[in-house]
């Protein structure tokens, strides 16, 4: 069985000229040739920001770049037909498509309603800091540009638990709990940060409303029938009651007749127990991104030789629940100038990618700029224009090839030195194995066993860092080296 590798084929600053779906279409064969088996695409529906929207400010789930809404027909990434064509190209290349699902909130309402709200303490959302307020808010979504095509469902204040903007008040920006027939308290979520972390932004969706649940089921079925995706990336799951996703994922898998891979974004970088708690609540229906491992990579890259590499997996989801861990080195939220800004430093990225691509456990996700590079300008925390250049990760193509061709079979770990660790993969009936050694300090050597089947075989460093060859002794052992602050991957000479 081939190793699985997904790619997040976008970042926060992906070009907004409507060309992205065509770029995906053109690049699909190349990605497949590199060993990628699944492509995670950005949110495809119309956002409140129209053609400038990244899709996370979701306005109309049914508008994939087809209707004149929010000032444009296309989305940031292109038109509905270009999206469908891009997905076909991915499928034709033998890869799967994972779509980005954003159902925590809506933004950009079409009409105001008179509603009753109470302001809550932003640091303790269970605490009211005002009495009932009669106000108006944009909680009615009629989608006039779509005119009922695909769905006639109208969203109103009964469909939302809270909102962050009301009109006609002296203090407009705050967090308001909406009084509706389902109460004025938040839904039960796993995360108790800020008292209750149900509310994130915009008009927060009320999943206790059965009409909302049924509409999202209908939408999910329509979406699948439109583009025939293979998996789901679920946004902001820490802010959504697990009850909804248990029901919705079961429905989607039943109506499609597919297993439908699903991975949730539950960003708890310093507390893997929260991720484990959520996985328990969702009863194993989805994987989660390994935020804790990413944070370990971030720390290790900044600490240099002072970081003990034998602890690199401590507190990670891939250590605690390897079957449900999607491992990553970066994403659109952790890239510079973004909300969770915590970029792994360049020198450590090849090491980090070796740790997720060439080991037995975890489903690795490659970040688009790490393969292609990126350059952009945005405001920093002081409001100043800052230009960022992200370079492609050195040797990432070789690490992907090594995962595709060599990283199989029994794994032996040599995590016995704070600055130099390694492991071997023995291979299987269809693939030769490999040996991996890495250092965050000086040039190092690691004596490791790869198996008697390789006795007398010569190994070379396919990452191109070492020129010498290693000959495996009669008992299946070899001395494998790596350069300072680097990683080497050793595979049999063909």
Instruction: Just list the catalytic residues.
Output: 235, 265
Strand partners, 90: none
Q: How far apart are CA 19 and CA 212, in angstroms?
A: 33
Q: How far apart are CA 428 and CA 299, in angstroms?
A: 35
DSSP 282: T
Q: Is 416 annotated as a binding residue?
A: no
Question: Residue 304 burial by CB count (10 A; 0-12/13-18/19+): exposed, middle or buried?
Answer: middle
Cβ atoms 490, 459 nearer than 8 A: yes
Q: How far apart are CA 355 and CA 307, in angstroms?
A: 15
Q: Is 164 annotated as a binding residue?
A: no
* CB neighbour list of residue 442: distance below 8 Å, 6 or more residues apart: 419, 484
SS3 181: coil
Cβ atoms 491, 463 nearer than 8 A: no
The tokens describing 186, both together, are 């938040």
Strands 411-414 and 133-140: unpaired
Dihedral angle computed from the Cα positions of residues 240, 241, 242 and 243, in that order, rounded to the nearest 10 degrees: -130
DSSP 305: G
Q: Is 209 annotated as a binding residue?
A: no
Question: Residue 287 burial by CB count (10 A; 0-12/13-18/19+): exposed, middle or buried?
Answer: buried
The tokens describing 75, both together, are 């989305």
The tokens describing 230, both together, are 């293979």
Q: Is 368 annotated as a binding residue?
A: no
SS3 content of the chain, % helix, strand, coil (to 5): 25, 30, 45
Number of H helices, E strands in the chain: 10, 27
DSSP 409: B
Cβ atoms 106, 63 nearer than 8 A: no
Taking Cα atoms as reference points, which of 371, 240, 389, 86 lies closest to residue 75? 86
Strand partners, 278: none
SS3 40: strand
Binding site for Ca(2+): which residues? 104, 198, 204, 239
Binding site: which residues? 104, 198, 204, 239
């Amino acid at each position: 069985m081939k190793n699985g590798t997904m790619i997040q084929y976008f970042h926060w600053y992906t070009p907004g000229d409507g060309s992205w779906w065509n770029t995906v279409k053109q690049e699909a064969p190349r990605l497949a040739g590199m060993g990628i088996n699944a492509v995670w695409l950005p949110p495809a529906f119309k956002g409140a920001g129209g053609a400038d929207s990244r899709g996370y400010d979701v306005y109309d789930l049914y508008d994939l770049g087809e209707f004149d809404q929010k000032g444009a027909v296309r989305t940031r990434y292109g038109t509905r037909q270009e999206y469908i064509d891009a997905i076909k190209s991915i499928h034709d290349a033998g890869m799967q498509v994972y779509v980005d699902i954003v159902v925590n909130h809506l933004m950009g309402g079409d009409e105001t309603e008179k509603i009753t709200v109470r302001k809550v303490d932003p640091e303790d959302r269970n605490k009211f800091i005002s009495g009932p307020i009669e106000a108006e808010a944009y909680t009615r979504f009629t989608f006039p540009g779509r005119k009922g095509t695909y769905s006639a469902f109208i969203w109103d204040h009964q469909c939302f638990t809270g909102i962050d903007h009301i009109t006609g008040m002296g203090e407009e920006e705050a967090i308001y709990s909406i009084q509706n027939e389902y109460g004025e308290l938040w839904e039960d979520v796993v995360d108790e940060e800020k008292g209750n972390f149900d509310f994130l932004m915009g008009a927060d969706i009320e999943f206790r409303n059965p009409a909302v649940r049924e509409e999202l089921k209908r939408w999910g079925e329509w979406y699948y029938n439109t583009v025939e995706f293979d998996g789901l990336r679920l946004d902001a799951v820490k802010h959504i009651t697990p009850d909804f996703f248990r029901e919705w994922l079961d429905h989607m898998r039943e109506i499609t007749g597919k297993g439908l891979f699903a991975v949730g974004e539950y960003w708890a970088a310093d507390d893997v127990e929260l991720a484990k708690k959520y996985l328990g609540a969702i009863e194993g229906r989805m994987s989660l991104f390994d935020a804790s491992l990413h944070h370990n990579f971030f720390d290790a890259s900044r600490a240099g030789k002072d970081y003990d590499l034998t602890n690199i997996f401590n507190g990670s989801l891939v250590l605690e629940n390897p079957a449900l861990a999607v491992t990553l080195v970066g994403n659109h939220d952790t890239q510079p100038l973004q909300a969770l800004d915590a970029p792994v430093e360049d020198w450590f990225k090849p090491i980090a990618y070796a740790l997720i691509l060439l080991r037995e456990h975890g489903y690795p996700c490659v970040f688009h700029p790490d393969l292609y590079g990126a350059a952009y300008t945005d405001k920093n925390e002081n409001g100043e224009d800052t230009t960022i250049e992200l370079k492609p990760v050195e040797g990432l193509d070789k690490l992907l090839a090594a995962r595709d061709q060599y990283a199989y079979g029994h794994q032996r770990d040599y995590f016995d030195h704070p600055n130099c660790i390694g492991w071997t993969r023995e291979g299987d009936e269809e693939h030769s194995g490999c040996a991996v050694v890495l250092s965050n300090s000086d040039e190092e050597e690691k004596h490791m066993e790869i198996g008697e089947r390789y006795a007398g075989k010569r190994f070379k460093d396919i990452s191109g860092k070492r020129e010498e060859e290693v000959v495996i002794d009669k008992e299946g052992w070899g001395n494998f080296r790596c350069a300072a602050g680097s990683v080497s991957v050793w595979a049999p000479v063909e």
